[in-house]
Amino acid sequence: MNSEDDETGGYVHRPGTGPGHKSTRDEPEPAGFGTKGWGLVAVLVLCTLVIPGVIYLDPSVFASVGVPYNIALLILPLLPAGVLGLTAVWSMTGATNGTSDED
């Protein structure tokens, strides 16, 4: 009986052993979200909850500063879309360049 058989003679898989096992000790540990990831999450919450909430609760928010109502309904959805796009590009540049937030 070898190490891959249990008491009944059946096969038992033991992770980290066997002929096809590769050592993962040289791989870096995952760093998590980091600052850029949490920034992206914050902007996503802003764009999906806060701005639509403002449009729903008070769509005339820009009318109080002199912007016509129809223009305000065009601008309010475009602002979070632009911010979300710029934040996504900012967060991905750090991920693709191999830089970390601790540098």
- Tell me which amino acid residue 61 is: V
The pLDDT score that the predictor gives to residue 1 is 47
The pLDDT score that the predictor gives to residue 23 is 59
Q: What is the pLDDT along the chain (103 residues), one digit of tens a residue?
A: 455 544 666 777 777 666 666 655 666 666 677 777 788 888 888 888 988 888 788 877 777 888 887 887 787 778 888 988 888 888 788 667 655 555 4
For residue 36, give every residue at least 6 positions away whose Cβ sits within 8 Å of its Cβ, in sequence order, or none: 90, 91, 94, 95, 101
CA separation for the pair 47, 64 (Å, rounded)? 22
The pLDDT score that the predictor gives to residue 21 is 63
The pLDDT score that the predictor gives to residue 95 is 64
